[in-house]
Amino acid sequence: MRAARLQAPGQLIVEEVPRPLPGPLDLLVRVEACGICGSDRHMFRGEFPTAKPVTLGHEFSGIVEEAGVGVDSFPIGTRLTGDPNISCGQCENCLAGRPNLCPSLSAIGVHRDGGFAEYVLVPAAQAVALPAGLDPLHGAFCEPVSCCLHAIDVARIAPGASVVILGGGVIGLLMVELARLAGAGPVVLSTRQAPRRALALELGAHHAVDASADPVGTIRALLPGGADVVFECAGVGETVRQSVAMARRGGTVVLFGVVPEGEEVLLAPFELLTKELRLESAWLNPLTHGRAAELIAVGALSLDRLITRTIRLDEVPAAIAGAPQAGEIKLVMAG
């Protein structure tokens, strides 16, 4: 089969590799769709640790073509999504319901071969069935939505709470929809790109502000005293600092965007202290993948409007290596 393999930082190549054979408790899945994530670009540039060589792609959906010995819960032909994050299930964090903090955590598309390929191996324990008639492009959103749901859980949004989302990429736009579903209001998105601000309003944001024109002052004018909850979804040092300034006294800041490993951000502890902010972070998708699949299966999210274009497997290396194109929100490889 063909797969997009990361050989070294800056070296991602589509090449012929043996089709994997399912072991006991594994499923061989024919990939129908796999989304490109900002983390894939971080891994390509060497900013996020991975195995090498490895097939990238952790946001995928597909069809079961073969099942290993001991697997009878996913018949051949089942459409499914795979939770890529595999924990040990036995350590202190796993037993406490926090498998995302497992010290032995490994991930499909990061530490083991992923979905930018014609086939991917998925442990049956990581598989979640999808409706047969679901658009496979929508199935590829289960992983990012599941991560967003964890951030929503961490934030503990009260009904009617004001929410600010920093970053207008696919994650920020998904957060607009999920915050509204969680009962937030008003919801404000901050981004530099005017088309994304317009889309955020169409997806349910009450306001969308220009991040290039004093966003802190604008938020304070819209939300006197600041926001109840601020989600940092851009993974940029400046927006991390802005998130603290935008939160009201007693408010919550959730760090969700992936800042490159090793980058440091200067914060003022006095401000955190005197505003008594709850500074949180949300990492991966502990126990939320199934919930994400349910939301997507019932059409609760407007996903088609987030897909900029679909690409072929041969186009994946150039798409990951290159800077996002103007207006790009989400690229999905369609098998």
- Whether 221 and 201 share a structural domain: yes
CA-to-CA separations, 254 to 23, 83, 139, 148, 217, in angstroms, rounded: 39, 23, 26, 11, 20
189-197 mean pLDDT: 97
pLDDT of residue 261: 82
Can you count the helices (H) and strands (E) in the chain? 11, 18
Domain extent, residue 111, equals 2-141+303-334
Q: What is the CATH number of the domain that holds 244?
A: 3.40.50.720
Higher pLDDT, 42 or 142: 142
The pLDDT confidence band at residue 323, using thresholds 50, 70 and 90, is: confident
Is residue 295 domain-resident? no
pLDDT tens-digit series, residues 254-269: 999 998 888 999 999 9
* HEC secondary structure over 36-95: CCHHHHHHHCCCCCCCCCEECCCEEEEEEEEECCCCCCCCCCCEEEECCEECCCCCHHHH
- Whether 31 and 87 share a structural domain: yes
- Whether 7 and 113 share a structural domain: yes
- Whether 185 and 122 share a structural domain: no
Proportion of the chain above pLDDT 70, given as a percent: 100
CA-to-CA separations, 75 to 64, 137, 170, in angstroms, rounded: 7, 21, 33
Is residue 50 domain-resident? yes
Q: Which of 216, 281, 276, 284 is nearest to 254 (CA)?
A: 281
As for how many domains the chain has, the answer is: 2
Is residue 286 domain-resident? no
Q: Give the C-alpha separation, 127 to 135, whole Å.
A: 17
- Whether 25 and 136 share a structural domain: yes
Q: What is the CATH number of the domain that holds 17?
A: 3.90.180.10
- Whether 125 and 238 share a structural domain: no
Proportion of the chain above pLDDT 90, given as a percent: 96
